[in-house]
Amino acid sequence: MVHQKKGNLMNKKLLSAVLISISFGLGYYYWHAPHAEMPAIRYMIAKPAPGDMTIDMRDYQASDHEFVMQLFKNDWYILLSSPTYNVDYMLETHSPNNYETEYTGMMPTKVLFVDNKPVGFCSYFMRSHYLGHILFIIVAKESRGHGYSKQLVRYCEQELKKMGAQLIKIDTREENLIAQKLYTGLGYTEKKRDHGFVTLSKKIM
């Protein structure tokens, strides 16, 4: 009876050791495997506790095209000043437009996912060695009211700061008072009003 208990204890210790080894091996592979083998590059905004929703930021993919285009269609007036803006060109070339060629390939677009469902996106780039520009911030109408716009702004700020930004600017329609309230609440101050748009900026410490 004593030998049987000792044998069971040894088996449990052996099983624990095996499980720890497997867990370590999987963790090492996840962090050290080449990005090309991973399905998508993700930025975790908030590490969820068990049972909480998963919120993360992902690089724009072709599979996100319909979602992003629908957001532009729904809020074209709010997002853009030109009725002929080429959204596909922006997404494909990672550029703010087709005439400021010095920024070609320099503007990433990120899509915010909640429980693997896209809810919004943002685009940003460096206008100079010190000035960052958040060009687009938009959340789908059905997903508003949960603080996602604020998370998008914070994400852009973090990424632009990594690129060397000391000052960040953002524009919005004069009548978009909700956006202006969001930006001023995050520390942005109004700098000018021109052609129906308000330009706000914020120093990055």
Domain formed by 40-203, architecture: 3-Layer(aba) Sandwich (3.40)
Between 34 and 146, residue with greater pLDDT? 146
The reported pLDDT for the residue numbered 161 is: 98
How many alpha carbons lie under 13 Å from residue 131 in its C-beta half-sphere? 9
- Exposed / middle / buried, residue 124 (Cβ in 10 Å: 0-12, 13-18, 19+): buried
Average pLDDT over residues 150-156: 97
- The pTM assigned to this predicted structure is 0.76
Domain boundaries, the chain: 1-38, 40-203
Model confidence band, residue 53 (pLDDT cutoffs 50, 70, 90): confident
Model confidence band, residue 194 (pLDDT cutoffs 50, 70, 90): very high
Query: Which CB contacts under 8 angstroms, 24+ apart, belong to 69-74?
Result: 71/120, 71/121, 71/138, 71/140, 74/140, 74/141
The reported pLDDT for the residue numbered 4 is: 45
**Alpha helix positions (H), the chain:** 2-32, 65-74, 76-79, 87-93, 148-162, 177-185
Task: Return the bridge partners of 27, or none.
Answer: none
Interatomic CA distance for residues 184 and 124, integer angstroms: 19
Q: What is the pLDDT of residues 178-190, one digit of tens each?
A: 999 999 999 999 9
The reported pLDDT for the residue numbered 205 is: 81
Q: Which residues contact 42 (CB under 8 A, 6 or more apart)?
A: 56, 57, 58
Average pLDDT over residues 87-93: 97
- pLDDT over 80 at 90, yes or no: yes
The reported pLDDT for the residue numbered 21 is: 42
- pLDDT over 60 at 85, yes or no: yes
Q: What is the pLDDT of residues 37-51, one digit of tens each?
A: 333 334 445 444 445
Computed over its alpha carbons, how large is the radius of gyration of the chain?
A: 23
Interatomic CA distance for residues 54 and 47, integer angstroms: 8
Average pLDDT over residues 112-137: 97
Average pLDDT over residues 90-113: 97
CA dihedral 145, 54, 68, 177 (to 10 degrees): 20
